[in-house]
């Protein structure tokens, strides 16, 4: 096997994950930002999976990256750019685009993109999805169309400066932000939306 090919364990992890109902090469390729044939090559074992791709693949197929096949690269640190209050609003203390952060936390298994940032949950308004002390990772490069994120847990920045972690919905010609233990709010003017990539429990 070529040095650029994935291990057999990693290949089987991907093949089994993509065999689940509703999982497709095409959608995974879109999430990874690569041509669809590259996913087919990874499944065949002729194309390696990058460290930054493992977390995205894991999120999509719903299976953790097996510990015995994680790369041994230097640990990646992700900047923490704010907190999520009991009202589910992020009180940023640093510009998320600059990404300097107030602290740094280790990236999840497999790593994330260099533009990934994190926020810390404070309070219980998002139980049982998110709990006090959880670290939520997302990608700060999140401009552009976000309609594909409807129905997903996201970090949502409104044009009035407020930032939330909620489930994005669309009804009656407008966007709504939902959480389990708080009333839904209307989000008439959205600046950007970023999908939650990973949640680390304390």
Asked if 104 and 36 sit in the same domain, the reply is no
Cα–Cα distance measured from residue 153 to residue 138, given in angstroms and rounded to the nearest whole number: 11
- Res 72: pLDDT: 43
Asked if 55 and 141 sit in the same domain, the reply is no
Asked if 104 and 169 sit in the same domain, the reply is yes
Asked if 33 and 100 sit in the same domain, the reply is no
Domain range spanning residue 22?
Answer: 8-67
Asked if 82 and 60 sit in the same domain, the reply is no
Asked if 113 and 179 sit in the same domain, the reply is yes
- Res 109: pLDDT: 74
Asked if 93 and 63 sit in the same domain, the reply is no
Domain total in the chain: 2
How many CB atoms sit inside 10 A of residue 75's CB? 8
Asked if 81 and 172 sit in the same domain, the reply is yes
**Exposure string for 133-143, b = 16+ CB within 10 A, e = fewer:** ebbbbbbbebe
Instruction: List the chain pLDDT tens, one digit each, 202 residues.
Output: 334 455 788 889 999 999 999 999 999 999 988 999 999 999 998 888 876 687 788 889 988 776 655 544 446 778 888 887 645 566 665 544 444 456 778 888 777 888 888 888 877 666 677 788 888 898 877 767 888 889 888 888 888 878 888 888 998 888 998 877 777 888 878 888 888 888 888 7
Asked if 102 and 179 sit in the same domain, the reply is yes
CB-based contact 111:52 (threshold 8 Å):
yes
Asked if 62 and 89 sit in the same domain, the reply is no
Residue 1 in any domain: the answer is no
Asked if 51 and 90 sit in the same domain, the reply is no
CB-based contact 139:194 (threshold 8 Å):
yes
């Amino acid at each position: 096997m070529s040095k650029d090919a994935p291990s057999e364990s990693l290949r089987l992890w991907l093949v089994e994950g993509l065999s689940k109902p509703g999982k497709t090469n095409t959608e995974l390729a879109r999430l990874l930002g690569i041509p669809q044939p590259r996913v087919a090559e990874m499944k065949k074992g002729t194309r390696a999976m990058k460290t930054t791709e493992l977390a995205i693949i894991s999120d999509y197929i719903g299976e953790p990256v097996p510990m015995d096949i994680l790369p041994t690269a230097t640990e990646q640190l992700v900047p923490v750019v704010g907190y999520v209050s009991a009202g589910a609003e992020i009180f940023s203390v640093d510009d998320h685009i600059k990404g300097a952060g107030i602290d740094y936390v280790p990236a999840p298994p497999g790593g994330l993109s260099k533009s990934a940032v994190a926020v810390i949950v404070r309070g219980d308004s998002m139980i049982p999805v998110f709990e006090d002390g959880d670290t939520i990772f997302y990608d700060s490069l999140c401009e552009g169309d976000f309609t594909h994120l409807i129905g997903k847990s996201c970090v949502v920045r409104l044009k009035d400066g407020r930032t939330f972690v909620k489930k994005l919905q669309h009804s009656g010609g407008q966007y709504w932000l939902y959480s389990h233990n708080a009333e839904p709010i209307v989000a008439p003017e959205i600046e950007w939306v970023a999908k939650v990539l990973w949640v680390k429990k304390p």
